[in-house]
Amino acid sequence: MSTGDHTETVDIEFDPHKTSYETLLNCFWKWHNPTSHHGRQYMSAIFYHDEEQRNLAEKTRDAQQQHLVRPIVTTIARATPFYEAENYHQKYILRQHPTILDKLGLSDSELVQSSVACRLNGYLEGFGCLDDFNKEQETFGLPEASLSYIRKQIEKKQPH
């Protein structure tokens, strides 16, 4: 079976009153290597929805290129319909911690839409620090034993 007919992406919805598109773009450039080519399935890409987003994507790309020796290979293209991945791909890292996933009590469709599941998935993967987790832990609705487990997972991922 060929898997080269699609590109694995994330579709980010954001509140422009809380963060800007440019801030999200700067995070994108910071958190991956835009000079590495991995073929269509894992290619580096930014999909824009309007000319303002396209212009900002190109502007931030050009600013990043000034700090890199190798050329940026990130594709900047108009967004086309977005299709959700199969359930087993959703919140993949969180799914590797079934005890936590079970405590959330979410159906597959609820898991896709859950901001709590999204936050926990990120923390368990090593994105975010323990201080940030501790500040928002009460919003997750999890028992202390689960929160303690997540804290330990975060500590394992933190640089020493």
Q: Write down the pLDDT at residue 141.
A: 95
- Dump pLDDT digits (tens) for 37-77: 888 777 889 999 999 999 999 999 999 999 999 999 999 99
Site of tokens 């911690």: 97
Domain boundary among 66, 83, 100: 83
Q: Give me the residues paired with residue 48 across strands.
A: 78
Query: Which of 64, 83, 102 is a domain's end point?
Result: 83
* Pairwise CA distance, residues 89 & 77, whole Å: 24
On whether both 5 and 49 belong to a single domain, the answer is yes
Domain count across the chain: 2
Euclidean distance between CA atoms 60 and 14, whole angstroms: 18
Q: Where are the alpha helices (DSSP H) in 18-79?
A: 21-30, 51-65
Q: Are residues 113 and 44 in the same domain?
A: no
Judge contact between 113 and 120, C-beta under 8 A.
no
> Can you tell me the mean pLDDT for 92-109?
94
What's the CA gap between 141 and 103, in Å, rounded?
9
Judge if 13 and 73 occupy the same domain: yes
| pLDDT per position as a tens digit, 104-158 | 999 988 998 899 999 999 999 988 899 999 999 999 999 999 999 999 999 998 7
Residue 45, φ and ψ in degrees, nearest 5: -150, 150
- pLDDT at position 138, please? 95
Mean pLDDT of 81-88: 84
- Round to whole Å and give the CA distance between 40 and 26: 23
**Is residue 159, in this structure, part of any structural domain at all?**
no
Ramachandran area for residue 126 (φ above 0: left; ψ -120 to 50: alpha; else beta): left
48 and 68 together in one domain: yes
- Kindly state whether residue 136 falls inside one of the protein's structural domains: yes
Instruction: Say what the pLDDT of residue 86 is.
Output: 84
pTM of the model: 0.70
d(CA 58, CA 143) in angstroms, rounded, equals 45
Please give the backbone phi and psi of residue 75, each rounded to the nearest 5 degrees, phi first: -85, 135
Tell whether 104 is covered by a domain: yes
Q: Based on the domain organization, do 132 and 74 belong to the same domain? A: no
Q: Could you say which of 83, 98, 118 is where a domain stops?
A: 83
Domain that holds residue 101: 87-154
Q: Do 107 and 60 share a domain, yes or no?
A: no
Supply the pLDDT for residue 2: 35
- Output the pLDDT for position 5: 65
